[in-house]
Amino acid sequence: MTEHTDSSSAGPEEAQESDSQEPGPEQPVSSPRPTTSRPRIAAANVLLSAARRLRQPLPGAQPRIRFEMPPEHEAGAEETSAADARFGSPGPRMSAQHPLYMGFMGTVGVGFALLVYWIGSNTTQLLLWIITALFITLGLDPVVRWLERRNVPRAAGILLSVSTLALGVAAFFATLIPTIVQQVTQIVQQAPKWVQEFIDSEFFRSVDSQFGIRDRISQELEKFVNNPDAMGGIFGGVVGFGSTVANGLFGALIVLVLSLYFLGALPAMKKWGYRLAPRSRRARVEALSEEITGSVGNYVIGQAAVAVLNATFAFIVMSIIGVPFATLLAFVVALLAFIPLVGGMIAGFLVTIVALTAGWQTALVFAICYFAYLQFEAYFISPRIMQKAVAVPGAVAVISVIAGGSLLGVLGALIAIPTAAAIMLLVKEILIARQDSR
């Protein structure tokens, strides 16, 4: 009895072990299972423990302080009574018609306006960088939101879009700059030949015999060479060109960094901006702002696509018919095509003038092809690319481009049409709606 009880009370592990050690005559012998080597298990455990330690905060570390929006709620009766009990009830506001109030607020307003004017006049370059970064941000934001709708995190979408833009621009300039340097060198080398041919022409000889232009040019050149101030001005111009290039590179870096920050903080910036409006009008302000920012973003992307297509077509035509300096001129066409309405026309006239050096037939062929493409672009390409962008009347667009170019140069011409569209939308939805309701 004792032996039977001891054998029957054995644990299942021992029974399983005995079964595995003594297989029956009908039970097949199982092959040994592969086991993981102990060094690999130890290394995996070390890595897991290191990862857990990295995820744990340091002793005494505090979370980073972030700006947060104040909660939207109405103070209840209990909160109001508690605030009154702690700080006392607020007294009546001073009347806006009080002379002291009017004088003080008028002085503060004038002082604030002068302060804003002084800051703006002394930080013009910084303001231009900020405007450029905002323009790029609004142009890349539709791409980032498109990636977000495809389950890409916003941070990854921002990094991907900005990196693609930076790499594209860098690759473009890396490919273009050597060609531009080579072609500019050719222009400089051929310039004396062109000047000599012009001097030897019959037209110049007839004009020189009447007005003595050759002697006048020789006198002016002699005065210029013997003038130390003029030679110093040349050296100062070279130094100024170098400083301009350095400032341009620094500005490009600043704009890139600001674009990254603006793209990351754009939703929070919008929320803060909407909270500055009264709560009763906040929904309307948000709708108008989203319409304006969305239109500007679509305009930037559409105009970039139109400029690339324009420059590509011009380069193909110039390469086929043999216009000199095709790569350099295609770069000029791309820059000018960013300026709406008038940029393409200016680019066409400039390239046609350069094409005259290869013959009037070449210039005529290019002019016909390019200006025909501008008509095709105006009626077929632009309406389809810019269908979600802004819509501005032609006269308003021309006036706004000229005014923007006069105020801020190329950047002003680029942002002129989106600004005009935003102003027209505000006038339509606010001023005209208010006048119609009276």
List, for residues 417-438, the tens digit of each pLDDT value.
788 878 887 888 788 878 887 7
Every domain of the chain and the residues it spans: 115-276, 281-438
Residue 346 clears pLDDT 60, i.e. is over it:
yes
pTM (2 decimals)? 0.59
361 vs 190: which has the higher pLDDT: 361
Q: Quick one: average pLDDT of 161-190? A: 75
* pLDDT value at residue 221: 64
Residue 84 clears pLDDT 70, i.e. is over it:
no
Residue 298 clears pLDDT 70, i.e. is over it:
yes
Q: Across the chain, what does the average pLDDT equal?
A: 75
List, for residues 183-207, the tens digit of each pLDDT value.
677 777 777 777 777 777 777 777 7
384 vs 132: which has the higher pLDDT: 132
What is the three-state SS of the chain? CHHHHHHHCCCHHHHHHHHHHCCCCCCCCCCCCCCCCHHHHHHHHHHHHHHHHHHCCCCCCCCCCCCCCCCCCCCCHHHHHHHHHHHCCCCCCCCCCCHHHHHHHHHHHHHHHHHHHHHHHHCHHHHHHHHHHHHHHHHHHHHHHHHHCCCCCHHHHHHHHHHHHHHHHHHHHHHHHHHHHHHHHHHHHHHHHHHHHHHCCHHHHHHHHHHCHHHHHHHHHHHHHHCHHHHHHHHHHHHHHHHHHHHHHHHHHHHHHHHHHHHHHHHHHHHHHHHCCCHHHHHHHHHHHHHHHHHHHHHHHHHHHHHHHHHHHHHHHHHHHCCCCHHHHHHHHHHHHCCCCCHHHHHHHHHHHHHHHHCHHHHHHHHHHHHHHHHHHHHHHHHHHCCCCCCCCHHHHHHHHHHHHHHHCHHHHHHHHHHHHHHHHHHHHHHHHHHHCC
Structure tokens at 256: 């890139």
